[in-house]
Amino acid sequence: MTKKPVVAILGATGAVGQEFIRLIEERNFPYSTLKLLASARSAGKKMTVNGQEYTIEEAKPESFDGVDIGLFAGGSISKELGPEAAKRGCVVIDNSSTFRMDPEVPLVVPEVNPEDISWHKNIIANPNCSTIIMLMALKPIHDLSPIKKIVVSTYQAVSGAGKEGLDELREETVDYLNGREMQPHILPSKSLPKHYPIAFNLIPQIDKFMENDYTKEEMKMVNETHKMLHDASIAITPTTVRVPVFRSHAESIMVETADELSVEDVRKAIQAFPGAQVQDNPAEMDYPMPLYTSEKYDVYVGRIRKDIYNPKAINLWVSGDQIRKGAALNALQIAEYMLAHDMI
């Protein structure tokens, strides 16, 4: 058991990599040695972690020799370096979509399905941010009565598209307010042939459309939920929308359960669930909002109310920081869980 593991952060200069560093400092995550890895163009840059200066190294297969935990910030490089790191005995906790639906790879939110960590083969996948935020609100309900149906609409911040998404919203806002034509080139996705402004707009497409006319982002929510809750019979209808918000996603969710549940039972279950907080007082206009859930660890749940027509359905409004709980924090919590349970 390595109480103070050797830790490598892959993609240390990106938004999620930077969040890993902030969280390691905030949470006093233990390590004996820290390696910061990135692409060749970032190699040689200096970064400070816990008061110590580090030099960014170019990420190569041999970078993971002797490394216990690899925190992968995401991106296409995971496909190449994930198996190489795992082969060298490093436990990879990966933020990309590369391994999520691989039947040999656990897909984990520590509060939702920590038991799945035990069958890892040195790679553990972090779910999509919108799925994590949804399941943090729904798992306590699922524990009260099995979920039968979910209808979810997401309101996803531009930081989900990375630094370029943030820059695009800033630039377009300035252009619009100064009477200049906006010049979109990132959203809905850089890889798509057509782009739309996000400033003062909503885009009902995140990633490409699949054959069933749902987007790749929407199908992630379906497939990942089925995998983590171990129930492919749950009927899930998602609509994912990009909104002109810098940070923190929000979701409107209708959830139908096998048994009829009271609002009070749902509220108590969510409040008792680690990492979730109830913020729900309509009389005081108190409910979760992205501006106030940004930089927070927890996922906030409000507007908890019975469906008007279906006695077995509850409606919720949820908001959580997708760079923290939706990405870096969840991955770090997996590592913390493994250390606490002598799994590394």
The verdict on whether residue 22 carries a ligand-binding annotation is no
Q: What gap in Å lies between CA 327 and CA 315, rounded to an integer?
A: 25
Whether residue 285 contacts residue 303, with contact meaning beta carbons closer than 8 Å, is answered with no
The verdict on whether residue 303 carries a ligand-binding annotation is no
Q: What gap in Å lies between CA 112 and CA 132, rounded to an integer?
A: 9
The verdict on whether residue 48 carries a ligand-binding annotation is no
**Catalytic entry in 120, 129, 142, 195:** 129
The verdict on whether residue 277 carries a ligand-binding annotation is no
The verdict on whether residue 156 carries a ligand-binding annotation is yes
Give the helix, strand, coil percentages of the chain, each rounded to 5: 35, 25, 40
Residue 61: φ, ψ to 5°: -50, -45
> Does residue 249 have an active-site annotation?
yes
**Catalytic entry in 90, 120, 142, 249:** 249
The verdict on whether residue 242 carries a ligand-binding annotation is yes
List CB contacts of 149: < 8 A, sequence separation 6 or more: 234, 235, 236, 237, 254, 255, 256, 313
The verdict on whether residue 51 carries a ligand-binding annotation is no
The verdict on whether residue 180 carries a ligand-binding annotation is no
List CB contacts of 317: < 8 A, sequence separation 6 or more: 250, 251, 252, 253, 287, 288, 301, 302, 303
The verdict on whether residue 331 carries a ligand-binding annotation is no
> Does residue 90 have an active-site annotation?
no
Q: What is the DSSP string of 40-54?
A: TTTTT-EEEETTEEE
The verdict on whether residue 88 carries a ligand-binding annotation is no
Token pair in block for residue 320: 């959580």
Whether residue 81 contacts residue 58, with contact meaning beta carbons closer than 8 Å, is answered with no
The verdict on whether residue 14 carries a ligand-binding annotation is yes
Q: Which amino acids are annotated catalytic?
A: 129, 249
Residues annotated as binding site? 13-16, 41-42, 100, 156, 159-160, 242, 322
Residues annotated as binding site for substrate? 156, 242
Residues annotated as binding site for NADP(+)? 13-16, 41-42, 159-160, 322
